[in-house]
Amino acid sequence: MAHIAVLQLIIAGSLMILTTLTLRVLYVLRHIRRSNVTQLKGKPASPFHMVIVLGSGGHTAEMMSLIRDIDPKRCKHRTYIVSSGDNFSSGKALEIEKRIQSNCSSTNTSLVTLEGQDDASFGMWDIKIVPRARKIHQSLITAPASSLWCLLGCLKALYTTARDSKVSPGEFPDIIVTNGPATAVIFIFAAILLKILGLVPVSKLRIIYVESWARVVTLSLSGKILLKLGICEKFIVQWEVLAKSINGSGRNRVEWPGFLVE
């Protein structure tokens, strides 16, 4: 009888945890789908902290165009997420900063603030390194293990980013911007996990996903996963034909603002 009572207690506890977790997931997803990233525009005096997830090759090249017009006086802290071993993206982060700062500089100078330097005019920028989700030609057998390691690295990066924030020390960033590298999907999963566990306010870590300019009629694998899960506050595509095929009649699953890259 004692064993039956213990088993009943375990089952009851498991059902309670499962119910609570399910309700929490539904709450987070409901908030994501009802929220509006553009609410930040209503607070012109409020600085914010943005995370930019970079990927190798074309992903990073496109990101340079996507965020070229950011106002560093508002986006006071810019954190770039780079996969380990991706020296290309680390170098491009510096180029992005040169462009952002030169656009807002009153003098035509090629100088740029140092990583981690808090500047009155240009705010601060830094780079966080996370493990690569999957290496080129990596076996699918070992991919789950490397993806889990990447997830843990992304969780650590989010916490160190909150700790180092120059906008609100100790608070998590306001926005995550990405255009689809594999590491970005894991990074977004990490952000959503923290929200589900109640460790991050649902008003923080709002996600803007911009599908690659190269995706004309179908979404990338990253885009398909994120759109299916409905975990992005804003999902943007750059081709009208793609937006129409996804939205269909009366639906508004994605936004089409036109071309965002040069």
Q: Which residues contact 115 (CB under 8 A, 6 or more apart)?
A: 94, 125, 126, 127
Tokens describing residue 53: 């997830």
Residue 3: band (very low, low, confident or very high) from pLDDT cuts 50, 70, 90: low
Beta bridge partners of 209: 178, 235
Where are the domains positioned within the chain? 35-247
* Mean pLDDT calculated for residue range 117-121: 86
The rounded distance, in Å, linking the Cα atoms of 19 and 183 is 30
pTM of the model: 0.86
Confidence of residue 37 (pLDDT cuts 50, 70, 90): low
pLDDT at 41 (0 to 100): 47
Q: What is the mean pLDDT of residues 108-134?
A: 84
Considering only CA atoms, which of 226, 210, 225 is closest in space to residue 32?
A: 226
Mean pLDDT estimate for the chain: 84
What is the SS3 assignment for 256?
coil
Residue 221 in this model has a pLDDT that exceeds 60: yes
Whole-number pLDDT of residue 146: 84
Mean pLDDT on 11-27: 73
Distance (Å, whole) CA 32 – CA 53: 19
Q: How many CA atoms lie within 13 A of 48 on its CB side?
A: 23
pLDDT for the residue numbered 46: 84
Q: What gap in Å lies between CA 92 and CA 252, rounded to an integer?
A: 34
pLDDT of res. 45: 62
Inter-residue contact 79 to 125 (CB < 8 Å): yes
Question: Is residue 39 predicted with pLDDT exceeding 60?
Answer: no
The model's confidence at residue 16, banded by pLDDT at 50, 70 and 90, is confident
Return the CATH number of 35-247, one of 3.40.50.2000, 3.30.300.180, 3.30.460.10, 3.40.50.720: 3.40.50.2000
Place of tokens 């508004």: 252
**Cα(83)–Cα(209) distance, integer angstroms:** 18
Q: Please state, for a pLDDT cut of 70, what percent of the chain lies above it.
A: 86
Model confidence at 127: pLDDT above 80: yes
Checking if the pLDDT of 40 tops 50, the result is: no
User: Beta strands of 94-252 (E only): which ranges?
Assistant: 124-130, 175-178, 206-210, 234-236
For residue 242, pLDDT beyond 70: yes
Quick one: CA dihedral 257, 158, 104, 54, positive or negative? negative
Query: Per-residue pLDDT tens for 85-103?
Result: 888 888 889 988 988 888 8
Higher per-residue pLDDT: 104 or 97 = 97
pLDDT tens track for 135-174: 766 676 777 888 899 999 999 999 999 999 999 899 999 9
Residue 62's nearest CA partner among 234, 240, 226, 215 is 215
Instruction: Identify the burial level of 113 via C-beta atoms within 10 angstroms of its C-beta, where 0-12 means exposed, 13-18 middle and 19 or more buried.
Output: middle
Task: Report the candidate in 202, 181, 170 with the shortest Cα–Cα distance to residue 89.
Answer: 181
Residue pLDDT, tens place only, 201-212: 998 999 999 998
pLDDT interval class at 109 (50, 70, 90): low
| Greatest Cα pair distance in the chain | 82
